[in-house]
Structure 1
Amino acid sequence: MFSRNKNQHSSVSIDMMEKQTRYEALVKAFHADLFRYAMWLIKDKVIAEDVVQETFLRAWKSLDSLKDEAAAKSWLITILRRENARRFERKQFDLVDIDDVAVADPHIFGDVALEHRELRRIMSNLSEEYREPLMMQILMGFSGDEIAEQLNLNKNTVMTRLFRARNQIKEALLGEHPKGEQVNG
């Protein structure tokens, strides 16, 4: 009687260790990509960290449903997007005293930081239909097919949106430089 329980116990332990190993490999491989995507999606470091953490918690709970390891990145992105949507279902606005808010001095940053900030501003002004596929391509390295699958769109629609997003960024960058000033790229 005891030997049967011991065998069942060791089998459960082995299964848990295998699950833990798979989970740790998943976190190690995709945490940075998920966090970058969450930052672009949410634009708040603390909330992005929470959403990524919740994403991995849900991934742990349903790790057995992931059959194709090659689809892990898409699977995690889907979980993250759903977690972000859940945020708005239970959204409660925090009030902040204006005297407690620190404002950064814009003169502290160098030229590169200014360029990055300007590019982020331009990209954030894109409509969501253009911004989201672009961010998925830039930050996550998704192909047109993968983006189409994630967003439930036709691949041609995705490719058109990516093309238009890049053109809008290019026009915004070129439009902000005075005539006669050379722009690289």
Structure 2
Amino acid sequence: MSPTIASPPGPTAQHRPVESVNWDETTLVVRAQAGEVAAFEFLVDTYEAPLYRLAVRLLRNRTIAEDVLQEGFIAAWRKLPTLNAPETFRAWIYRIITRRCLDQLRASRDQLQLDETNGGNTTRAGDTDPAITVETEQLRHSLNRALTDLPPQLRVCWILTEVDQLSYADISQVLDLPVSTVRGRLARARHQLAEGMASWR
């Protein structure tokens, strides 16, 4: 379960119900830029879960991921007025959280403790045959191990592509890299993962 993000502070914040209004994301961003906390909270509700999963997979630690996400959303609220293209909010918020995760990894050169939660994924008892469940969990564990062995710059490209389904163009914006570099890192990540998962072929 992802953490609860506290409402962002703001001297001009206005609380208005947004759940009953069918606004598109760009409209929500514009209204949040105008100081409407409720609009920003709706955006947080939209992106909190996928960004939390991203942080857990990158940092391998739930507590640190929660802290990074909390700080990232607060920073996003404060920086939101500087976003000149509201329609690019998705790539923008991913960039904020991703960079904070990478900064955290750089600040903690010693390997972070592996979080045995598989990034928040669980298999419910009774959903399938016990033997298949065990094998699936072992496969997930092996994939997590292989992902942990990837350098952070390769790991983040793989996660953003395969898990969060971001386009190469979006990842280029998130990481501030040329698309060709994103493609190259993703290719290396897939190659290393294939070698790490060779025993499952």
Query: Could you tell me the TM-score, scaled by structure 2's length?
Result: 0.63
Do residues 35 (structure 1) and 52 (structure 2) align? Answer: yes
Query: In 2, distance between residues paired with 1:85 and 1:151?
Result: 10
Following superposition, the deviation at residue 27 of structure 1 comes to 0.5
Q: Give the alignment of 1:19-168 within 5 angstroms.
A: 19-84=36-101, 87=104, 110-168=134-192
Q: Percent identity?
A: 27
1:36 and 1:139 in contact (8 A); partners too: no
2:76 and 2:93 in contact (8 A); partners too: yes
| Count of residues in correspondence between the two structures | 150
Following superposition, the deviation at residue 59 of structure 1 comes to 1.8
Query: Is the alpha carbon distance of 1:22 and 1:51 closer, same or farther for their aligned partners in structure 2, counting shifts above 3 Å?
Result: same
Following superposition, the deviation at residue 87 of structure 1 comes to 4.5
Task: State the SS of the aligned residue for 1:16.
Answer: coil
Query: In 1, distance between residues paired with 2:150 and 2:73?
Result: 29
Query: Is the alpha carbon distance of 1:29 and 1:132 closer, same or farther for their aligned partners in structure 2, counting shifts above 3 Å?
Result: same
Bigger Cα displacement from structure 2, 60-69 vs 113-122: 60-69
Task: State the SS of the aligned residue for 1:37.
Answer: helix
Bigger Cα displacement from structure 2, 113-122 vs 164-173: 164-173
Following superposition, the deviation at residue 73 of structure 1 comes to 2.0
Query: Is the alpha carbon distance of 1:40 and 1:115 closer, same or farther for their aligned partners in structure 2, counting shifts above 3 Å?
Result: same
1:23 and 1:63 in contact (8 A); partners too: no
Task: State the SS of the aligned residue for 1:136.
Answer: helix
Name the aligned partner's letter for residue 69 of structure 1.
P
2:51 and 2:69 in contact (8 A); partners too: yes
2:72 and 2:100 in contact (8 A); partners too: yes
Could you say what the CA RMSD is over the residues aligned between the two structures, in angstroms? 2.8
Following superposition, the deviation at residue 68 of structure 1 comes to 3.1
- Higher radius of gyration, 1 or 2: 1
Aligned residue for 2:20?
Answer: none
Aligned residue for 1:3?
Answer: none
Query: In 2, distance between residues paired with 1:138 and 1:40?
Result: 12
Query: In 1, distance between residues paired with 2:138 and 2:152?
Result: 23
Name the aligned partner's letter for residue 68 of structure 1.
A
Following superposition, the deviation at residue 140 of structure 1 comes to 2.4
Query: In 2, distance between residues paired with 1:155 and 1:90?
Result: 27
Following superposition, the deviation at residue 45 of structure 1 comes to 0.4
Following superposition, the deviation at residue 65 of structure 1 comes to 2.7
Query: Is the alpha carbon distance of 1:90 and 1:138 closer, same or farther for their aligned partners in structure 2, counting shifts above 3 Å?
Result: closer
Following superposition, the deviation at residue 72 of structure 1 comes to 1.5
Following superposition, the deviation at residue 82 of structure 1 comes to 4.1
